[in-house]
Amino acid sequence: MILLAELTNPRAAQAFFDYLKTQHITAKLMPKSAQRVEIWVDEAHHAKADVLWHEFEQDSSADKYWSASWDVGTTDSGLAYQGASFDLKARFDALSWLNRSVSLVSVGLYLAFMFGGFNSLFSVLKFNPANPLQWFTPAIIHFSAIHLIFNLMWWMSLGSKIEQALSSRHLVFLFLFTALISNWAQFLLVGDNFGGLSGVVYGLLGFCWIYGYYSKNEQLAVSQPIIGFMLVWLALGFADVLFVSMANWAHLFGLIAGCVAGWALAWQAKK
């Protein structure tokens, strides 16, 4: 193997190492001290890895690196991140206006719910077939911290993937399209007592899965373990064996809407 790079931030080294895995590059992390890590790559992959390393040096805070550990399904490198910073502010600042806005509004509304504003706010934000704006607003209301964190984690990660691989306009379209389909489905099949970004999240997952597959776009590739986990989670929701009540039809139709959008855009791009 050939030495590719040496870093003094173990968490950054882990992020880039995991990103190399998503690019199908054989690599190895070699800790030299508590704060010094070497990255070695297979000789056959060195040229490609070197190009990716220079991209990483230019923008090491890009979400594609920091979300790579989720994509490969592990953060177990054996490294000790003593004092290493996740640089969350830099990562948040790197998000688009839409990604940040949806995240901040969702957090703000959840805090407002906690401090006594639930009854007044929910009545004007829940799904209302007579008000087109309220076809979308259920996506930004959440009823628990776990619900909120889980959704925002995926929203930020998948949303950034789509913007980096395609454009912010694609993310705007997917947010509106998947929110519309998932919210209407949940309302028609169950009722208006629901909320959450999960339908959109499943829509983004479906889009990345299908578009990445048909267009061969590696930036949008989602690992099979992640897809499997989300599909199992969806099935468990319908089986009603989880500790939380979920808007299952919103999840399912959000996924279907995202898959359809992914196939349509991939077909259009090839044409």
Beta-ladder partners of 30: 38
Structure tokens at 40: 């070695």
d(CA 29, CA 171): 34
Task: Say how far apart CA 237 and CA 191 lie, in whole Å.
Answer: 17
3-state secondary structure of 199: helix
| Dist CA 21 CA 39 (whole Å) | 12
* Alpha carbons 261 and 269: distance in angstroms, whole number: 12
* Residue 102: partners with Cβ closer than 8 Å, 6 or more residues away: 139, 140, 155, 175, 197
> Of the candidates 166, 261, 266, 268, which has an alpha carbon nearest to the alpha carbon of residue 215?
266
- What is the Cα–Cα distance from 135 to 187, expressed in whole angstroms? 10
Out of 45, 142, 147, 251, the active site residue is 251
Residue 260: burial class (beta carbons within 10 Å; 0-12, 13-18, 19+): middle
CA nearest 200: which of 167, 154, 148, 236? 154
Give dist(CA 160, CA 59) in Å, integer: 14
251 catalytic residue (yes or no):
yes
Strands 36-41 and 2-7, bridge-based pairing: antiparallel
Spot the catalytic one: 69, 103, 198, 215: 198
Catalytic residue IDs: 198, 251
